[in-house]
Structure 1
Amino acid sequence: MKVLGVGFGRSGTMSLKAALEELGAGPCLHMIDLIRNNELIAPWHDAAIEGDVDFDRMFAGFESTIDWPGCSYWRELIEHYPDTPVLLNYREFDGWYKSVKNTIVAVREASQKAELKPDANRPAPPPELWQVIGTLIYERDFQGKFEDEEWMRDMYYARIEEIKATVPAERLTLFKLEDQPGWAPIADMLGVEAPQTEFPHLHDTDEFRAEFGLPALA
């Protein structure tokens, strides 16, 4: 593995996936890969539901990871890949919480109410994927307390500080969205030259919702 992205999803992860792949650290596994290619779900389902954690299977064909499901295993990953650089992507809580509520939570609720509108180009996610999402995100990471905003706030910032305290500074690269760091920190981490092109900006809230057939927010 070339990069371990350990920050939560809805923290610039699609943009970072594109950036990592452009800089030679791809393919980069992101939850969107499981959504678009259901053949990738099985090893993650085995890990989340059965406790059969096999990183060779879970990351087969990939050179890096960002977003869920990988970030749920950040502690295990930094030990399993002791020489791999760690990327902590994050943003301020209020913007993150709102984004999660309008995307992941909204899509999950629509699915539970059978309100998603699949078509030939956008099939409905299979039950196994929702089981992975429910187990890793809602139970493992959020501990079933997403609606408790203050608990989530405390957990969110405590997790960031735990990662900073656990991963040696020389191994850790910080990427805070509000600072708009661009290519430089990632290029430095990988030891490559930063491109002169604009840094990717992908998968905002409305783009995420459109992926599942939900309307854009006003």
Structure 2
Amino acid sequence: MKVICAGLSKTGTKTLQAALKEIGYNVYDHLENCLYLNKEWTKIITEGGTTEDFRRMFENVDAVTDIPGCYFWDEIHKAFPEAKIILTMRDDEDTWARSMYNQVAAANNPQIQILYMLSPTLKQARAWSDKVVMAVFGTKLKESFFGPATFNMLLARMTYRRHNAHVLQNAPKDKLLIYNIKEGWEPLCKFLEVDVPSVPFPCKNVRGKVVEDFLKEDPLAIRAKKEMLVSITLLALLFSFGAYKFSRSWSSKWFFNTSSSVWHSFSSFRNKFC
């Protein structure tokens, strides 16, 4: 582990991830932690963890960004004391809160909701993310088909204040960079002691665009869409089979009732005139 990015979500974590990848680092963001370290993080959140747990989890990773890694920056640093720490921050708390609100609104996407219901993989990922968000912010993102998503911004703001204060007070000053992504390559590369890449500095997840990007190109979303098609096909087959059985049952019942009625009428006629 070379770099621990301690900035909370919506402080430029996706942009920083892209920048570190451009430099050549293997970066675990929120999604990678979910896909590859799901069980380990679940244990840490529900039962607790040790320094050895974090060392084992990130021994082959160069950098970690976003939740849950940023929230457990201190524990990860104990496992990798030589790692540098980057605290990404917005201009002020209100700017961060507006960005968080935009992310919440973007997440309330009907296509995402349908994928959650019909993709086992994405359903499991969502359950894990809900646990992580609750552990970090003390509240849960509530999405809805029929109204706006909700998120307790009071608790989120309090987490933002406490978290930043904790990093500023306790991170080793000689290993800490307080960074705003608006500053671009120069301070980041100087801190990491690497050459400035020849490409423009990345800009990711503007106004919650990460959800749109996820649906278009992320391997997890592609897998989820395939699972959704399988689920829809199975549901259609089950519905067709059920409809067929019902129609057969109804037809048989109608035939039986009609036959019985005819036979009853014939028997009455026969008994009356014979």
**TM-score bracket, shorter-length normalisation:** 0.7 to 0.9
> Could you tell me how far apart the structure 2 residues matched to 1:162 and 1:40 are?
25
Report if the CA contact (8 A) 2:138-2:156 is conserved: no
Report if the CA contact (8 A) 1:27-1:64 is conserved: yes
- Count of matched residue pairs: 201
Describe the superposition over 1:140-198 as per-residue Cα deviations: whole angstroms up to 9, x where unpaired. 3222385252x543442332122111112211011124xx1101122112211212321
Query: Is there any run of 5+ residues in structure 1 with no aligned partner, and where?
Result: 214-218
Query: What is residue 141 of structure 1 aligned with on the other side?
Result: 136
CA 1:165 to 1:44, structure 2 compared with 1: closer, same or farther past 3 Å? same
| TM-score where L is the length of structure 2 | 0.63
SS of residue matched to 2:87: strand
- Using the TM superposition, give the Cα deviation of residue 60 of structure 1 relative to its aligned residue in structure 2, in angstroms: 5.2
> Could you tell me how far apart the structure 1 residues matched to 2:127 and 2:59 are?
21
> Could you tell me how far apart the structure 2 residues matched to 1:97 and 1:124 are?
30
Give the letter aligned to residue 171 of structure 2.
V
Larger RCO: 1 or 2 (CA < 8 Å, sep 6+): 1
Q: Aligned pair 1:78/2:73, yes or no?
A: no
Query: What is residue 103 of structure 1 aligned with on the other side?
Result: 103
Q: Which has the higher helix share?
A: 2
What CA RMSD, in Å, does the superposition of the two structures yield over aligned residues?
3.0
Report if the CA contact (8 A) 1:87-1:172 is conserved: yes
Query: What is residue 190 of structure 2 aligned with on the other side?
Result: 188
SS of residue matched to 2:122: coil
Larger Rg: 2
| Correspondence 1:13-162 to 2 at 5 A | 13-24=13-24, 26-34=25-33, 38-52=35-49, 54-59=53-58, 61-91=60-90, 92-104=92-104, 107=107, 116-118=113-115, 125-127=122-124, 129-138=125-134, 140-144=135-139, 147-149=152-154, 151-162=155-166
Query: What is residue 163 of structure 1 aligned with on the other side?
Result: 167
Report if the CA contact (8 A) 2:54-2:75 is conserved: no
> Could you tell me how far apart the structure 2 residues matched to 1:166 and 1:65 are?
19
Instruction: Extract structure 1 runs of 4+ deviating beyond 4 A.
Output: none
CA 1:74 to 1:206, structure 2 compared with 1: closer, same or farther past 3 Å? closer
**What percentage of residue pairs aligned between the two structures are identical?**
26
Query: Is there any run of 5+ residues in structure 2 with no aligned partner, and where?
Result: 141-150, 216-274
> Could you tell me how far apart the structure 2 residues matched to 1:207 and 1:161 are?
28
| TM-score where L is the length of structure 1 | 0.77
Report if the CA contact (8 A) 2:8-2:160 is conserved: no
